[in-house]
Amino acid sequence: MPVYTYRCEACGIQFERHQSFTDTPLKTCPECRKKALKKVITPTKIIFKGSGFYATDHKSPSGDTSSAKKAEKAEKAEKKESASASTESKPSKSESSE
């Protein structure tokens, strides 16, 4: 069950209450008995623990091309590796004359 935070606009008391999604919101303050309660919107904290959560698990922000840039860098690195591998496999003139 979620925890909701309420604040009374009349007396200023703030408290939390466990309620089901289907429960109606509270209206009457438990301290001053006035109908001045409002739900307080609070940001939630999400903590990802354990293996199995990766940077690619979340959608990138709109307009962000970081994934495209990473793909370009990977392609360039592969080309450099293949080019250096092909130059290493060619025998030099001194090796071929022996």
Residue ranges per domain, the chain?
A: 3-40
Which of 10-14, 46-50, 61-65 is the least confident region? Answer: 61-65
Summarize pLDDT for 17-54 with one digit per residue, the tens.
999 989 999 999 999 999 999 999 877 777 777 776 66
Distance (Å, rounded) from C-alpha 31 to C-alpha 10? 10
Q: Which residues pair with 39 in a beta bridge?
A: 6
pTM greater than 0.85 (yes/no): no
Strands ordered across the beta sheet of 37-40 = 14-18, 3-8, 37-40
Distance (Å, rounded) from C-alpha 17 to C-alpha 3? 6
Residue 6 · residue 13 · CB < 8 Å = no
Q: Which residues pair with 3 in a beta bridge?
A: 18
